[in-house]
Amino acid sequence: MAFEKNILVTGGAGFIGSHVIRLLINKYPTYRIVNLDLLTYAGNLENLSDIDSAENYTFEKGDIVDTDFVNSLFEKYDFDGVIHLAAESHVDRSIEDPMSFIKTNILGTVNLLNAARSNWKDFTGKRFYHVSTDEVYGSLGETGFFTEETPYDPRSPYSSSKASSDHIVRAYYHTYGLPIVISNCSNNYGPNQFPEKLLPLFINNIKHEKSLPVYGDGKYTRDWLWVMDHATAIDVIYHDGKNGETYNIGGNNEWQNIDLIHVLCEIVDDELGREKGSSKKLIHFVKDRPGHDKRYAIDATKIKNELGWEPSIQSEEGLRLTVQWYLKNTAWMENVTSGNYQKYYDKMYADRV
Ligand code: NAD
Ligand code: DAU
């Protein structure tokens, strides 16, 4: 079958990437979607098991840092566009091992930019979309929001590696005219998230009546976005965003961690038929994450006004759907927590509790 467009999605076996791939495969049957993923601990092809036999889907296992491999894919598929999500994504891991974040998030991004620049003889109709995070803007006080004009002030090895890659992507626009677009999004939640991030970790721990390690005093604020809303925003930006522009994406949904965790305990207890809120006894305040950013909050006016995108799901509804998904998908949870997971987790938390 001849496809109208060939699009490379990197990191498609991960949390957000799997939702992006599913949306694109179903919405655009005339596009061929090539998923390039290394299948690190965070990548899981089970996340795509419902669509992996679709005619317009192809999986390529490989490393975005591998120049020859990336170039060979550009030659093989003659991509019209790239949606780049592959990354090391967990802040705590970046504190333990910054180098893997530098390699994947910075060198991997440069490698993809170079492949696009050298393989795209003519940039007309091409697009390189870099998916980034609100953490590049640093930390807010009690008030205010991140806009697209907020100066970068990253604090962790993760956020500084993402900030660095954002700057390099913009440099390729200004220096070489590469048609790029960037988005910076707040905390995502929903199905398929690896249980090292707050919500899936805590849902699984509540289920097994294990301790809930709340960092510091728990009075840290995040703006939570339903992951499928992020996928629709990425679709809209990929198709309608302007070259060289940045779009902030957020959920208008700020929670202090401790309040969110209390509601989470109530929902999980309710779903498991336990006395409502009884799991709150599992909460333990532990040593804080070093350099912990106090508050993130997104002003998403630009994407709303210019591209007509808004989040569709309100927080408690999304939280309940999330809890139900993790409690139902026990085989998924068992698979991703097999192998070295428990060993890693025990080591990670040994000096916190
Ligand atoms: P994730 O950790 O769940 O998935 C990352 C994926 O990238 C995995 O499938 C992994 O196998 C793959 N990968 C890692 N290194 C690779 C390499 N060298 N080559 C090829 N593939 C590799 O991450 P996520 O939470 O889905 O985040 C996806 C992107 O969105 C990241 O760029 C992240 O910075 C950004 N982001 C995430 C959030 C969030 O809340 N999770 C919010 C804003 C932005
Ligand atoms: O803001 C977007 C970012 O959101 C993304 O770029 C990152 O890839 C993603 O991991 C996420 O980063 P956070 O550090 O905000 O997410 P995490 O789930 O690790 O933590 C959320 C909050 O909960 C944070 O304030 C730290 C706290 N926390 C986390 C864990 C894992 C705890 O109190 N205890 C925990 O065990």
First CA to last CA distance, the chain: 56
Burial of 13 (0-12, 13-18, 19+ CB in 10 A): buried
In a domain? residue 243: yes
Indicate which ligand has the atom closest to the C-alpha of 258: 2
Query: Which residues make Cβ contacts (< 8 Å) with residue 208, sequence separation at least 6?
Result: none
In a domain? residue 215: no
Cα-flanking dihedrals φ and ψ of residue 30, to 5°? -90, -5
| CATH number of domain containing 143 | 3.40.50.720
Coil/strand/helix, residue 266: helix
pTM: 0.98
Domain, as residue range, for 28: 5-189+224-249
In a domain? residue 264: no
- Give the number of the atom of ligand 2 that is nearest the alpha carbon of residue 293: 25
d(CA 269, CA 211): 15
- Name the helix (H) or strand (E) containing 267: helix 257-272
User: Would you say the CB of residue 3 lies under 6 angstroms from ligand 2?
Assistant: no
In a domain? residue 286: no
Task: State the number of CA atoms in the 13 A half-sphere of 117 facing the CB.
Answer: 17
Residue of the nearest CA to atom 26 in ligand 2? 215
In a domain? residue 305: no
d(CA 311, CA 307): 13
Burial of 30 (0-12, 13-18, 19+ CB in 10 A): exposed
User: In the block, which residue shows the tokens 């961690």?
Assistant: 257
How many domains, in total, are found in the chain?
Answer: 1
- Name the helix (H) or strand (E) containing 187: strand 187-189
Helical H segments across 149-241, by residue range: 157-176, 198-207, 227-240
DSSP state for residue 209 in the 8-state scheme: T
In a domain? residue 66: yes
In a domain? residue 262: no
d(CA 336, CA 73): 28
Catalytic annotation, pick one of 37, 88, 134, 299: 134
DSSP state for residue 107 in the 8-state scheme: I
Coil/strand/helix, residue 147: coil
- Give the number of the atom of ligand 2 that is nearest the alpha carbon of residue 135: 1
312 contacts 239 by C-beta, under 8 angstroms: no
Q: How far is the CA of 272 from the centre of ligand 1 (A)?
A: 31
Per-residue pLDDT of the chain (353 residues; tens, 9 = 90+): 789 999 999 999 999 999 999 999 999 999 999 999 999 999 999 999 999 999 999 999 999 999 999 999 999 999 999 999 999 999 999 999 999 999 999 999 999 999 999 999 999 999 999 999 999 999 999 999 999 999 999 999 999 999 999 999 999 999 999 999 999 999 999 999 999 999 999 999 999 999 999 999 999 999 999 999 999 999 999 999 999 999 999 999 999 999 999 999 999 999 999 998 899 999 999 999 999 999 999 999 999 999 999 999 978 899 999 999 999 999 999 999 998 888 887 777 776 76
- Name the helix (H) or strand (E) containing 215: strand 212-215
Indicate which ligand has the atom closest to the C-alpha of 66: 1
- Annotated catalytic residue 158: yes
In a domain? residue 349: no
